[in-house]
Amino acid sequence: TLVRYQLPVVVIVFNNGGVYGGDRRNPEEVSGPFKDDPAPTSFVSGAAYHTLIEAFGGKGYLVGAPDELKSALSESFSARKPVVINVIIDPFAGAESGRMQHKN
């Protein structure tokens, strides 16, 4: 819809590799036939969310540093078209909303 109507929307994905704290499972504590599978709270590691919008005709950016984010934002606002900025962040940085870390 964003691309079809050329809406100048900038979507920012703060990508920590998963929901809440990413995949913080301790490998020594995981057992069973599916032990190598990612945790259910994990996104696909290395997923290129920024390329999905490009497949439909929008613009995507992969960002890993603050100066790259500043540049991507500047270009995005100038482009006046749909954009996805995939910002890779440390999965161990910060805390979840509601202080739910004990439930992960």
pLDDT digits (tens, 9 = 90+) for 50-89: 999 999 999 999 999 999 999 999 999 999 999 999 999 8
Contact 101, 21 (CB under 8 A): yes
pLDDT above 80 (res 25): no
Contact 14, 89 (CB under 8 A): yes
∠ CA(89), CA(91), CA(17), 5° rounding? Answer: 80
- Confidence (pTM): 0.72
